[in-house]
Amino acid sequence: MKSILVIGVGHFGRHIIDKLNDLGCQIMGVDIDEDNVNAIANKVDSAQIGNSTNEEFLRGLGVNNFDAVIVTIAEDFQNSLETVSLLKDLGARHVVARAASEIQEKFLLRIGADEVVYPEKQLAAWTSIRCTSNYVFDYIDLGGEHAIYEVSVPEEWNGKTVEQLQVRRKYGMNLLGVRKDHVLNVNIRPDTVMDKDSTVLILGESKTIMKYFYL
């Protein structure tokens, strides 16, 4: 069981806590706003009201005992920077910080954040791709040139097996799974048959996938 400290439990932080609960994590939630802390009190193993830019307060949390610390502070970037810097000074193992712009992302990485999430940018990319094609059902950017797309099964694939299609050899794409009737099958075999009423998860270079699937 992973132990996670979430600093900043506004709307974004609460969504993270909900997902961490689904994953069976042990969670501590921290916020300077009492109302925010009260809102998540029954969703976490422990909750604290306090200022994350206060070194003594952070030290008292035992930040080095958590597997990861997620800093979701967005309203006050100075506070976010100070919090990340203090966390690293206090020996936090892995710090993930939220950014609201590319320049914030650069600063957070520069002062020691192990990872930076930029939800507005990531959601914008997902929405743009999803809304400009009738064939895309989901999209995960893996960084660089690669991504995972969930797309409709092409008409020419219908009724053919994975072995017959030779997707990897012919197109340089990897077939990760097939979803039908909301059930995902990741146990793909050479004799797995494609169905036009299904969707497939494809991993590869974005430009290759977009070209082949007319995205």
Least confident among 17-21, 29-33, 142-146, 148-152:
142-146
Q: Do 9 and 108 belong to one domain?
A: yes
In this predicted model, what pLDDT tens digit does every residue of 174-200 receive, in sequence order?
999 999 888 889 998 999 999 988 999
Query: CATH number of the domain that 36 lies in?
Result: 3.40.50.720
Residues 100 and 9 in one domain: yes
Of the ranges 48-62, 96-110, 184-198, which is most confident? 48-62
Identify whether residues 167 and 142 lie together within a single domain.
yes
Whether the predicted pLDDT of 126 surpasses 80: no
Give the domain-ending residue among 65, 91, 117.
Answer: 117
Q: What is the DSSP string of the chain?
A: --EEEEE--SHHHHHHHHHHHHTT-EEEEEES-HHHHHHHTTTSSEEEE--TT-HHHHHHHTGGGSSEEEE---S-HHHHHHHHHHHHHTT-S-EEEE-SSHHHHHHHHHTT-SEEE-HHHHHHHHHHHHHT-SSEEEEEE-STTEEEEEEEPPGGGTT-BHHHH-HHHHHS-EEEEEEETTEEE----TTPBP-TTSEEEEEEEHHHHHHHTT-
Average pLDDT, integer, range 23-51:
95
